[in-house]
């Protein structure tokens, strides 16, 4: 459902969703829940559009990084992220849209973070829009700050899928990256079957990420093989643009909230 209405109690809604998880039918029309591997990585991504009265609080989140999360149980990786203007992908930064990317060592820890963490509550209370995704990786290559994400789910036979692409751009290749990136990212926001797309970054110009959710694997693959995106990937590989990169595909376990006027969950 699309619309400008914001859930008046996003944290409460998320907590109800987590509480109901065990009783809910599996995604994809009856497929069994993913088989959990020995490394039980579960990703939680928060997206927020910080309300005007809380902008100073919001602007402090990215330089603080993972420090406010040191006591969070089960957390093994976290990145506080800024965004492009209006949650997009250009050089102009957003004054309000942000993300928090976290990896937990069990699904129980991820659920507890969503349902009971004061950090999640702080983001939600200060937000004009707030959305949370809980995900398991179906494929993963590369690293982020030296950390990897374990594959703990099979690719869904049907239904939504999600993707994360992030890179540390070599300073000598920044011009090439930003010359090729805008056409590919503009095509992403217009791509058929794309439910959600957001540009994120932990540092201006040189450390960038893209997160997207798709109706199906076929829709994601169609974009990945499209002209502007395919050209950018080929140029990045042949030109050695990145000093570090990570490419992950996910099975969404939870997507709930509001982002850019669209309600999820």
41-91 confidence digits (pLDDT tens): 999 999 999 999 999 999 999 999 999 999 999 999 999 999 988 877 777
Q: What is the pLDDT of residues 103-160, one digit of tens each?
A: 999 999 999 999 999 999 999 999 999 999 999 999 999 999 999 999 999 999 999 9
The domain made up of 10-264 is a member of CATH 3.30.70.20: no
Residue extents of the structural domains in the chain:
10-264
| 229 vs 253: CA distance, rounded Å | 27
Q: Is 203 helix (H, G, I), strand (E, B) or coil?
A: strand
> How far is Cα of residue 37 from the mean position of the Cα atoms in its chain?
22
- List pLDDT tens digits, range 20-35: 443 444 444 444 444 4
Please give the angle made by the CA atoms of 139, 74 and 213, to the nearest 5 degrees. 35
């Amino acid at each position: 459902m699309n619309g400008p209405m914001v859930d008046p109690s996003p944290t409460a809604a998320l907590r109800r969703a987590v509480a109901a998880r065990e009783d809910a039918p599996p995604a994809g029309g009856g497929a069994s829940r993913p088989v959990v591997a020995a490394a039980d990585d579960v990703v939680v991504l928060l997206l927020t559009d910080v309300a005007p009265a809380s902008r100073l609080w919001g602007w402090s989140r990215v330089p603080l990084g993972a420090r406010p999360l040191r006591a969070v149980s089960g957390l093994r990786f976290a990145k506080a992220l800024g965004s492009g203007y209006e949650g997009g992908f250009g050089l102009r930064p957003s004054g309000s849209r942000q993300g928090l990317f976290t990896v937990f060592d069990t699904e129980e820890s991820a659920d507890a973070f969503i349902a009971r963490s004061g950090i999640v509550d702080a983001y939600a209370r200060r937000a004009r829009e707030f959305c949370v995704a809980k995900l398991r990786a179906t494929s993963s290559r590369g690293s982020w700050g030296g950390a990897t994400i374990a594959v703990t789910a099979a690719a869904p036979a049907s239904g939504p899928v999600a993707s994360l692409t992030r890179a540390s751009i070599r300073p000598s290749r920044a011009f090439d990256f930003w010359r090729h990136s805008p056409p590919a990212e503009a095509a992403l926001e217009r791509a058929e079957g794309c439910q959600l797309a957001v540009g994120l970054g932990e540092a201006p110009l040189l450390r960038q990420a893209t997160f997207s959710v798709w109706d199906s694997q076929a829709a994601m693959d169609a974009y990945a093989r499209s002209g502007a995106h395919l050209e950018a990937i080929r140029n990045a590989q042949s030109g050695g643009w990145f000093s570090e990169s990570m490419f992950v595909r996910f099975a969404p376990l939870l997507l709930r909230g509001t982002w850019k006027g669209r309600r999820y969950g």
